[in-house]
Amino acid sequence: MNAKLDSGVTTRPVTRQTFDEVLVPTYAPAAMVPVRAAGLEVWDQEGKRYLDFTSGIAVTSLGHAHPGVVDALTRQINTLWHLGNGYTNEPVLRLATALTEATFADRAFFCNSGAEANEAALKLARKYAHTKFGPHKSRIVSCLSSFHGRTLFTVSVGGQPKYTEGFEPLPQELSHIPYNDIEAARAAITDDVAAVIVEPIQGEGGVIPGDKQYLKALREFCDATGALLVFDEVQSGVGRTGSLYAYQQMDVTPDILTSAKALGNGYPIGAMLTTEAIAQHFGVGTHGTTYGGNPLAATVGLKVVETISQPAFLERVVQASAKIFGNLEQLSADYPQVFGKPRGMGLLIGLPMAEACKGRSKDYTKLAEKLGLMLLIAGPDVVRLAPALVVSDEQILEADRLMREAVEAFVAG
Ligand SMILES: *Cc1c(COP(=O)(O)O)cnc(C)c1O
């Protein structure tokens, strides 16, 4: 039955309604369906234009359809797509070289997403601890309200119990501690801990920057117990905070760093970076993935890293950040009944809802979207801004105007 595909299936009109008919309902996408985008502009099926201050959740950091990325990928598409891990390829060799030269790391492992990068990091940390210290050293310590992905291991390590409900039995030997609480970390990081995983700035958990002193203390407790320190920079990495990776502004060096999201500017890629000594514990056959480090993803990653790590590019991120922070501080001062003080780093910015408007971040972003501005939330209490790092001063002004119009509409109704 139905062996033959209806020849009209590729041209039949599709709408937002189609989503509710044929997709597994894990998401509740917006009412409009985007069809085209360039830079920070997006157009929907009706031809309506939006200013994108989401970057697809901190992913398209060079903007949509960035000409340099399009050109590099197009050339690679016409050259070599895929070989499998029985062969290496030039783009992945170049990308690994670029990433190790630009960071603390000596070695890179590539995969296809942030969850997979964290999965690799956690598996490597356990392997390292078991080999070096014995099987008793297997505990993973992570933070409450953290987010590390949706595989069973990473979602269990993540600090949001609502995401693991119903998926039991969960992986064992996991502990969750409050973020930015040094005493809780001191108590939790005992001799049986294999790894501590932390976001230098919590993204999904509400855009909460880690205190330098806290991250330094984690480093100290890890050194004292032989645990590995893993920085999840899936959201904070690749220029988002004004340095290539956020740890570079924190005076703390992790043992393992994970990267994804912006590394591919929308093309799926993940990376786990680590030192020579630790990498040796992932010998031939211990871990792998079919697509990891394929020529297409690696070509995009290389172009992205090359572009973003230019000092002038990163200086502009810091400058754009200061402008947006200035605007948001003024907005929150003008509407203290709606918004609290903005927080974050670089162009990863959270604007918390004031006490009286708790739980209503989505109501606000929906109003902004109607007016033509795409914004994110970070939970029900925080509006999140993550524009492409190439955002112009004019776009910053336009976003400010639209956010003010949206807050007027919010207050009115
Ligand atoms: C998005 C995110 C992940 C998960 O990445 P996926 O590509 O969705 O698997 C992990 N950690 C952090 C900090 C993230 O923001």
- The pLDDT tens digits of the residues spanning 150-179 come to 999 999 999 999 999 999 999 999 999 999
Helix axes 295-308, 311-334, angle to 10 degrees: 70
Please tell me the distance between residue 201's alpha carbon and the centre of ligand 1 in angstroms.
13
For position 256, what pLDDT does the model report?
99
What sign has the CA pseudo-torsion 233, 239, 245, 246?
negative
- Ligand 1 pocket test, pick from 26, 61, 204, 231 with the greatest ligand atom count within 8 Å of Cβ, gives 204
Residue pLDDT, tens place only, 223-251:
999 999 999 999 999 999 999 999 999 99
174 - beta bridge partners?
140
Among 138, 404, 122, 91, CA closest to 264: 91
For position 291, what pLDDT does the model report?
97
pTM: 0.97
DSSP H/E element including 406: helix 393-412
Q: Is 200 in the pocket of ligand 1 (CB under 6 A)?
A: no
CA distance 36 to 42: 6
- In CATH terms, 16-65+311-412 corresponds, of 1.20.120.640, 1.10.3720.10, 3.40.50.620, 3.90.1150.10, to 3.90.1150.10
Sequence-ordered alpha helix ranges (H) in 103-181: 114-132, 152-157
CA distance 73 to 81: 10
Tokens of 4: 């033959």
**Are residues 123 and 287 in contact, defined by beta-carbon separation less than 8 angstroms?**
yes
Residue pLDDT, tens place only, 36-50:
999 999 999 999 999
Q: Is 128 in the pocket of ligand 1 (CB under 6 A)?
A: no
Tokens of 214: 């806290």
Residue pLDDT, tens place only, 114-128:
999 999 999 999 999
For position 4, what pLDDT does the model report?
78
**Are residues 301 and 264 in contact, defined by beta-carbon separation less than 8 angstroms?**
yes
Place of tokens 């509407």: 335
Q: Where residue 61 falls among pLDDT bands split at 50, 70, 90?
A: very high
Q: What is the mean pLDDT of the chain?
A: 97
Helix, strand, coil share of the chain (percent; to 5)? 40, 15, 40
Question: Domain residues of the chain, as ranges?
Answer: 16-65+311-412, 68-308
Q: Is 259 in the pocket of ligand 1 (CB under 6 A)?
A: no
Please tell me the distance between residue 234's alpha carbon and the centre of ligand 1 in angstroms.
5
CATH class in words for 68-308: alpha beta
pLDDT at 3 over 80: no
Q: Where residue 135 falls among pLDDT bands split at 50, 70, 90?
A: very high
Residue pLDDT, tens place only, 329-385:
999 999 999 999 999 999 999 999 999 999 999 999 999 999 999 999 999 999 999
Within 8 A by CB and 6+ apart from 152, the residues are 167, 170, 171
Q: Is 114 in the pocket of ligand 1 (CB under 6 A)?
A: yes
Q: What is the largest CA-CA distance in the chain?
A: 65
Which ligand 1 atom is the nearest neighbour of the CA of 115?
9
Q: Where residue 5 falls among pLDDT bands split at 50, 70, 90?
A: confident
Q: Which amino acid, one-letter code, is at 4?
A: K
CA distance 383 to 328: 11
Tokens of 180: 């930015």
Q: Where residue 8 falls among pLDDT bands split at 50, 70, 90?
A: confident
For position 6, what pLDDT does the model report?
81
CA distance 325 to 330: 9
For position 10, what pLDDT does the model report?
84
**First-to-last CA distance in the chain?**
52
For position 2, what pLDDT does the model report?
62
- Ligand 1 pocket test, pick from 143, 148, 150 with the greatest ligand atom count within 8 Å of Cβ, gives 148
Q: Is 252 in the pocket of ligand 1 (CB under 6 A)?
A: no
Please tell me the distance between residue 149's alpha carbon and the centre of ligand 1 in angstroms.
5
For position 1, what pLDDT does the model report?
54
CA distance 178 to 188: 10
Residue pLDDT, tens place only, 294-344:
999 999 999 999 999 999 999 999 999 999 999 999 999 999 999 999 999
